[in-house]
Structure 1
Amino acid sequence: MLPPALPDACVERPGLVAVLDAAVRRRVTLLLAGPGWGKSTSLALWARSNPVAWLTVDEDHSDLGRFASDLLLALQPFLDLPEAVREDLPVLELARDAAAFVDVLAFALRGQAVLVLDDVHHLPEQSAAARLVERLCSRAPGGLRIVLTARREPALRLDRLRGRGHVSDLDAGPLRMDPATVAAFLSSALGAPAGGVAEPVHRCTDGWPAAVRLTADALRGTPPHSWPQALAAGPGPRLMLRYVREEVLAGESADALELMAGLARQPGVTGPEVGGPGAAEPEELPRAADDLVRRGLVAEAPGGATRVVEPIRRCLAVGTTGAAARTTAGRAGPDLAFHTLGGFRVVRDGRAVPTTEWKSAKARHLLKLLLARRGRPASREQLMDFLWPDEAPERLGNRLSVVLSAARAALLGDRRSGADGPLVADRDVILLDLRRIDVDVERFLEQAAEALDADRRGGDALALLSSAHRLYRGAFLADDLYAEWAEPLREEAHSEFLCVLHALVRQAERSGDTTLAIRFALRLLEHDAYDEQAHIGLIGLLTRAGRHGEARRRYGTYTAQMRAIGVTPSYAAGGGAPAMRRSAGPG
């Protein structure tokens, strides 16, 4: 497998390439940085002059068989393993014996190679796949160097290798863009000299590559003479704030968020700096802060004090995370999140509301119906008919009030006194105020629409689409799968999810990551087994990847599925595995 394609606006970074050259002299390199720091892009830039095998790790690679198969496929150009031998190899059984698996690689490896395992933080702790990576790192053949990238410290035991001097540890520091690099990137991305705004863009992004790119996107279409005013107009581009909230802050622990919030609001500070009297010194910071510095979320200010990087500070300042994002006029209640995709649960102040606090099953049903109405009010008569369909409405007024009170009690907990909750009621109607809560299906639909719009414009939307994809954890209110009142929102969310998967296939294929495109195509067919375009596209991807046996099997599955619903397959292979020319996805 090949490294991902470089983005259109990409600048040479000889200093960074030199750092990577030096690091890869050791057996293992761990590149640790948060989202958007350009780990993959930097390595793809470096890989232009180095022999690289590339595997992008995701959640599916917790399955040992899939991980081992993809690992062999990535290394295929550097292994003396004929296709017939590779297809007959008992990969899963071999991978279960990590030492034997590594011995096969050592025997088959020809020449020098660098194996990049991108995003290894997706491997679960103590998983068999993680143990296989550990064995590969500790017993790698002499001609193989291994580069690991991760958003956070991976679940890999590398301390013994570190003690022996076999590990190069890199953090976000070398990835940070300096003002000259920012100027070169902006000029390339905007098609006009941008040296005049490079310094303010560097200040408002802290050289964070994703933030620089999103700032360039915000400036695109604005006349160059208006760039300074556009930069000074507000707290930052909407997409940047969304990216920080969804890709960065959403994945952080409560301790890390509290630490960043504290650094961002430290009193007596001008701008983003948190230095000066009372600032936290590096030796006083807990281990969590050291980790944030390594990953590029917190930086050292002049004098050795620490500060939150500017895009995160701006995001925190406008209240786009946690309870601050949902504060409305009136008295604040608890931070409430409704999980509706794949099941139903309510999280209050970071903890699921326990079963013992739901005094009435009807209270849960009431909330589900209001969630399905997406903030639209429901009349009391509608709700009584929903909760007690076979009883006379004139006898149900008090019972509905009791259910409403039970729902409020479960949502507000011990903050009932003096708190305005999201349940709003008057004499006639009841509604759930979505401005005061976080609802995963609403967040998914909003982010999916934004990501698909970016895909339609022809840009690099892979990160936005991947973020939307991760939000979809199953059907809306899967516990009420046959409830007609939930069907419209369930169908809308599922349809949007399929569109996201189609777009991910296209984006992954466009970036040159065929394995990732195959993975998304397989997931698409898991959710819609009768999508003919997805079947045809998957067969084509497998064929182009040289996986002819899998392509042949998938062709059989495709024809069987089409005939099962009475459809004549539009593609007919004239014997053998089909040699496809079409890519996955619609359009």
Structure 2
Amino acid sequence: MNYINYREYQTTTESTYPQIKIYTFGEFRLERRSSGAERPPAYQAVAHARLAQRSSALIMLKVLLCQPRRRIARTALAALMWPGQANSHYITHTIDTAASLLRRHVLNAAEQDSLLLTQRLDGETVFTLAEQARLWIDADELLSLAHQAVQRESEGEDARPALNAAHALAQGEFLEEELTVNWTQPLRQTIDGARRRVLHHLVDIYTQSHQYRHAEELLFSYLQEYPTDQDALYRLMNLLNQQQRRQEALHIFHYCSVIINDHQQQADDATHALAAKIQHNCNLHEAAQYYSARVRCGVSDNCSVRYTAIYPIGYLTRAIA
């Protein structure tokens, strides 16, 4: 079965519904589960302006969701947010206030159990977010789906449902407002790697089953968002070339090359070599067209048909008949 998007996959596999959903790809979004009895339940997005009013709590939430096991000690949090001031009483008070706001105003839910747990471990205050079943985060779901796909394939099952669901989730940059912030980088690198694995895994599946249009669509869409990704560029060029769509392959190469140069980078040797090979094949193809047209005309080298060699052979045949 092919799943069109994550929601379709989700409703066929999920038996419980989290109290809150957090979307980190693209614009940051938080949704709360409605109190109604309908299944699946409706989720209501919290207004961005309302979240912005709790900026310290929102930053704390983002830091927590980037941590392994969604947990961090207060001293470590202080060191991340205020380097060199971690032992300040003011910083300690600020963090405790942010935690209170996060618990009561951002992650507040209908159920009694808090979605933010505060514990004392080895003399340290430790903050922990609730598990995925109660506090759903799209980034964690993406990583889980990517892992499921590998497992299913190793067991001889169809990996496409999990792969398609993972690919549908990853729309936009992870925490786009904190692109260069240090505390996002470890998880950001993990997510970027998972996104690429999912993409190329899907492309492999579609090309092996000769569903080239699906593979093309995935690569074109990905390059529209990440035009400097040369692995995806190489695969798309190669796929187009295999279908004799050489000019299209060269066009996308030149388009991406301009953007790559704008980013102070260069196309790698493999991509350049593929472009040169495709250009060579184009030249051979045009030469063959020109030769076929001359033979059909039965005229000398001065025949004006050679100037129309850029047209398909069928066009030339009709034109000179």
TM-score of the two chains, using structure 1 as the length reference: 0.40
Instruction: Tell me the CA shift for residue 525 of structure 1.
Output: 3.1
Alignment of 1:225-264 (within 5 A): 247-250=8-11
- The aligned counterpart of 1:384 is 78
Equivalent-residue separation in structure 2 for 1:420 and 1:545 (angstroms): 58
- Structure 1 residues 566, 470: closer, same or farther in 2, change over 3 A? closer
Given that 1:337 and 1:348 are in contact with CA atoms closer than 8 Å, whether structure 2 keeps it comes out as yes
Query: In structure 1, the residue corresponding to 2:30 is in which secondary structure?
Result: strand
Q: How does 1:165-564 map to 2 (within 5 A)?
A: 247-250=8-11, 320-323=15-18, 335-349=19-33, 350-354=43-47, 355-356=49-50, 359-389=53-83, 391=85, 393-413=88-108, 415=110, 419-427=112-120, 428-435=125-132, 436-455=134-153, 460-557=158-255, 561=260, 564=265
Compute the displacement of 1:379 (Å). Answer: 1.8
Contact residue 423 and residue 433 of structure 1 kept, 8 A: yes
Deviations 1:257-305 (A, max 9, x none): xxxxxxxxxxxxxxxxxxxxxxxxxxxxxxxxxxxxxxxxxxxxxxxxx
Deviation at 1:453, TM superposition (A): 4.1
Paired residue type of 1:521 = L
Q: Which has more helix, going by share of residues?
A: 2
Structure 1 portions without partners, runs of 5+: 1-35, 39-57, 59-118, 123-244, 251-311, 324-334, 580-587
Deviation at residue 495 of structure 1 after TM alignment: 1.2
Aligned residues between the structures: 261
Query: Could you say if the C-alpha distance between residues 384 and 442 of structure 1 is closer, same or farther in structure 2, counting changes exceeding 3 Å?
Result: same
Q: Residue 30 of structure 2 contacts residue 46 of structure 2 at CA under 8 Å; is this kept in 1?
A: yes
1:359–1:406 Cα contact (<8 Å) kept? no
Show the counterpart of 1:570: 273
How far is 1:340 from its partner? 1.2
Asked whether the equivalents of residues 108 and 115 of structure 2 are also in contact (C-alpha less than 8 Å), the reply is: no
The residue identity in structure 2 corresponding to 1:525 is L
1:481, CA displacement in angstroms? 0.8
Give the Cα separation in 2 of the matches to 1:555 and 1:359: 45
Partners of 1:357 and 1:529 in 2: CA distance: 32
In structure 2, what residue type is equivalent to 1:565? Q
Q: Secondary structure of the residue that 1:322 maps to in structure 2?
A: coil
Q: How does 1:116-135 map to 2 (within 5 A)?
A: none
Shift of 1:472: 0.8
Q: Counterpart of 1:577 in 2: which secondary structure?
A: helix
In the alignment, the residues of structure 1 paired with residue 170 and residue 67 of structure 2 have an alpha-carbon distance, to the nearest angstrom, of 19
3-state secondary structure, aligned to 2:280: coil
Distance (Å, rounded) in 2 between the aligned partners of 1:362 and 1:558: 39
Shift of 1:550: 0.9
Higher relative contact order (CA 8 A, sep 6+): 2
Work out the CA distance in 1 between the residues paired with 2:53 and 2:166: 34
Cα-to-partner distance string for 1:288-345 (whole Å, 9 max, x where unaligned) = xxxxxxxxxxxxxxxxxxxxxxxx6xx6xxx72313xxxxxxxxxxx11111122322
Secondary structure of the residue that 2:162 maps to in structure 1? helix
| Cα pair distance change 1:545/1:566, threshold 3 Å | closer
TM-score (norm 2): 0.69
The answer as to whether partners of 2:146 and 2:166 remain within 8 angstroms in 1 is yes
Other structure's SS at 1:343 match: coil
Indicate how the Cα distance of structure 1 residues 357 and 368 shifts in structure 2: closer, same or farther if over 3 A, else same: closer
Work out the percentage of aligned pairs sharing the same amino acid: 25
Asked if the contact 1:461/1:507 (under 8 Å) is kept, the reply is no
Q: Which residue of 1 aligns with 2:300?
A: none
Question: Contact conserved, 1:475 with 1:490, CA < 8 A, in 2?
Answer: no
Taking only aligned residues, the RMSD between alpha carbons, in angstroms, comes to: 3.4
The 3-state SS of whatever aligns with 1:482 is: coil
Where 1:378 maps in the other structure, the secondary structure is strand
Alignment-mate amino acid for residue 351 of structure 1: Q
